[in-house]
């Protein structure tokens, strides 16, 4: 389901899932800082076009996808970046990630987007399998030049 950033319970569920993601080795293995815990949902609500998908089982949150809009200059169309995707360990193996990605894709198509993007760690083989099953692949413009790499420069 699409989260409502103004809904108190959705906000709590978003923070709960992001805290779980942060402490997981695939999320960095460290606690989500208090600033992010206290401000994330409001900050997401301020990003035009951002949206969050929440998955529930027995009325408990079990999955989350945060999506941030972007733009492809080569296609001159919008895109959706799957910025965070997490499923509780106890709920993995039930295709929850795929079901959430189906909602993301449907929304992207409705918005006229040309593609979905995401980043995944080399060591996260289970996530890579799930993404491949959903149709994702490594990004390259020219096979001779190889796949694109995700880099960052942290700013303080």
In a domain, 94, yes or no: yes
Domain count of the chain?
A: 1
Range of the domain at 87: 8-145
Q: Is residue 2 situated within a structural domain?
A: no
Q: Is residue 43 part of a domain?
A: yes
> Within a domain: residue 155?
no
Establish if 24 belongs to a structural domain. yes
Check residue 13 and give its pLDDT: 98
**152 occurs within a structural domain:** no
Residue 31, domain member (yes or no): yes
What angle (nearest 5°) sits at the alpha carbon of residue 15, between those of residues 156 and 5?
100
The pLDDT assigned to 35 comes to 96
Q: What is the CATH number of the domain that holds 13?
A: 3.40.630.30
- What pLDDT is attached to residue 25? 87
Please give the chain's pLDDT, 156 residues, in tens.
999 999 999 999 999 999 999 999 888 889 999 999 999 999 999 999 999 999 999 999 999 999 999 999 999 999 999 999 999 999 988 989 999 999 999 999 999 999 999 999 888 888 888 899 999 988 888 888 888 878 788 898
- Note whether residue 73 is domain-resident: yes
| 3-class SS letters over the chain | CECCCCCHHHHHHHHHHHHHHHHCHHHCCCCCCHHHHHHHHHHHHHCCCCEEEEEEECCEEEEEEEEEEEEECCCCEEEEEEEEEEECHHHCCCCHHHHHHHHHHHHHHHCCCCCEEECCCCCCHHHHHHHHHHCCCCCCCCHHHCCCCCCCCCCC
CA contacts within 13 A on the Cβ side of 43: 11
Rounded to an integer, what distance in angstroms lies between the CA atom of residue 103 and that of residue 89?
21
Residue-level pLDDT at 65:
98
pLDDT of residue 87: 95
């Amino acid at each position: 389901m699409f989260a409502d950033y103004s809904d108190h319970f959705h906000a709590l569920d978003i923070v709960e899932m992001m805290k779980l993601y942060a402490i997981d080795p695939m999320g960095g293995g460290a606690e989500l800082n208090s600033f992010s815990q206290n401000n994330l949902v409001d900050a997401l609500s301020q990003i035009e076009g951002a949206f969050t998908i929440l998955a529930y089982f027995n009325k408990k949150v079990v999955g989350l996808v945060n999506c941030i809009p972007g733009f492809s200059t080569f296609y001159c169309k919008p895109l959706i970046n799957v910025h965070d995707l997490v499923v509780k360990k106890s709920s993995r193996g039930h295709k929850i990630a795929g079901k959430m990605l189906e909602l993301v894709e449907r929304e992207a198509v409705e918005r006229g987007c040309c593609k979905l993007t995401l980043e995944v760690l080399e060591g996260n083989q289970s996530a890579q399998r799930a993404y491949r099953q959903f149709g994702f692949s490594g990004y390259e413009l020219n096979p001779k030049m190889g796949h694109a790499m995700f880099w960052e420069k942290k700013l303080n």
